Amino acid sequence: MFRHGLTKRRLLLSGAAGTLAAMAPGRRAQAQSRPLTVVFESEVVILDPHATTAAITRTFGYHIFDTLFSMDQTGNIHPQMVEGHTVSSDGLTWSFVLRPGLKWHDGGNVTAADCTASLQRWGKRDSLGRLLLAATDSMTADDPRRFTIRLRQKFPLMLDVLGKPNAPVPFMMPAAIMAEAGEGRITKIVGSGPFVFRQDKWRAGDLMVFERFDGYVPRAEPTSFLAGGKVVHVDQALLKVMPDPTTGANALIANEIDYMQFLPFDLLGQLAKSDGVKLMDLGGADMYQGNFRLNQASGPFMDPAIRRVLWKLVDQDETLHAIGIPDRFRLKNCSSYWMCDAPLSTDAGADPARFSIADARAALAATAYKGEPVVMLEVANSISQTAGNVLAEHMRQAGFKVDEQLMDWGTVLARRAKRDGWSMFPVFSNGIDMVSPLKHFYITNNCADYPGWSCDAAITPLLAEFTQAESAELRKAIAAKIQQAAYQSVPSVMWGQFAIPVGYRSRLVNLTQSAFPMLWGVQLATG
């Protein structure tokens, strides 16, 4: 599995802890009483973290819910809600004990039965969860704090799966609330995480309010990425929705907000010169991978020969330049599905990805394409829209008929859930979600009921081999074979690897350097 320490830099801001330690008690209390005001990548539209792979819902989830295990900054998995576990000598029986004193936000005790119900619900909705359930014979709560998973076959990735940070994350929820929701989404948001979501104060399109959960007992270990003790130092965090990135950037400059996850590239120079504003430079798996997700359930991209033409129409360097991403924040070209500057990086199978409109025109003419419209869903005023614009122009030059349709991200989520009415959409994802065949949305969901409905018979057994592989060398070799198959079946086409700088006010100290927004651990200085 991927180990972040090879490529990620998550050092705390130097000197921050010492600054606060020197503050007088009264001054510190005054600083912490002011709410922390943040702008995330988008509005949280879907609140049920088991129901979507949307990164913004995952961000919401990590603040409100908790996990049995979590990943640290080096990629190792540690207990989170779990106090300890044992494994039988044959590797088929896993027993877990919860930490004492775990509470739900409504005051109820977290029980083992809640956890087994959560795993069963999540497992049906997640690609890795389905692999775990397929290997499981039974999952039982033995007493209020103990539960057991009995396997019908060995599952070496047990802890990696239970502690994975990839959406949908195996967050724990109260069994009663999940039962009330049935097959639908939960509507009452009750977690056991470090923040409480004040649903009564939620103003859709404007504001969400998180408050510190006083009943949360952090682990004793220091915080490390998503693992360790999640200590909350602020009484309240306000999640503001901004109409566009420029408005958000101006609010950051004006000291009206404290943190902005996605800064507009054209304002980076101004932001860097603004008093009290700091920028994060992020690399490796803290970068993003852009993809065009293709719909194989209906329309022209049902034909793999037509899908393969797109490899000749995407110029990553041109696309990232058109978006306005400075050289320091992008790679000129990356042909690896598993990210470049990452352990599983490979060029295997990438020969078709050679930009040439003339070659694409000839290749398209040799297919069964008859001029059917390619419906591209684009998020208005986003960098992915620009990526779509660039590809759409190349596609038209090659002979495609392209219908670009602008909308917000929530509408894209709704439209992509239907098997017809769309052909493709541009999107970008956290690098940590793409660094492995078992994490990459469009590979791990092979032959699953997942928007795009890509299905390659060659990939399914290779994924199974990957889950059973016990060495990094073997996993890397299998990942290369999976990529070779993907270049032929084309579940998606990459449009670039890049970083999006995070901006924050200098009054934020102990802020973890990560593309994942994490509001625990943050302390507020005066000024």
The H or E element spanning position 36 is strand 36-39
For helices 472-489 and 459-468, the axis angle rounded to 10 degrees is 170
pLDDT in tens, 241-300: 998 899 999 999 999 999 999 999 889 999 999 999 999 888 778 899 999 999 999 999
Q: Which CATH architecture has domain 4-240+502-524?
A: 3-Layer(aba) Sandwich (3.40)
Q: What is the pLDDT of residues 445-465, one digit of tens each?
A: 999 999 999 999 999 999 989
Give start-end residues of each CATH 3.40.190.10 domain in the chain.
Answer: 4-240+502-524
CA distance 84 to 81: 9
Residue range(s) occupied by CATH 3.10.105.10 in the chain: 286-498
Phi first, then psi: give them for residue 85, nearest 5 degrees. -150, 160
- Enumerate residues 6+ apart whose C-beta is below 8 A from 179: 117
Q: What phi, psi does 395 have (nearest 5°)?
A: -65, -40
CB atoms within 10 A of CB 111: 20
**CATH homologous superfamily for 286-498?**
Dipeptide-binding Protein; Domain 3 (3.10.105.10)
DSSP 442-461: HHHTTTSSSTT----TTHHH
pLDDT attached to residue 33? 57
pTM: predicted TM-score of the whole model, two decimal places: 0.79
Least Cα distance to 162 among 118, 112, 99 occurs for: 118
Summarised one tens digit per residue, pLDDT across range 359-396 is 999 999 999 999 999 999 999 989 999 999 999 999 99
Among 526, 156, 523, 450, which residue's Cα sits nearest to residue 296?
A: 450
pLDDT score for 513 = 87
176's CB contacts (< 8 A; 6+ apart) are: none
Cα–Cα distance measured from residue 468 to residue 456, given in angstroms and rounded to the nearest whole number: 20
For residue 24, give the 3-state DSSP assignment: coil
pLDDT tier, 162 (very low <50, low <70, confident <90, very high otherwise) = very high
Cα angle 326-332-336, degrees, rounded to a multiple of 5: 130
Structure tokens, 313: 């129409």
CB-based burial, 499-518: b 16+ in 10 Å, e otherwise: bbbbbbbebbbbbbbbbbbb
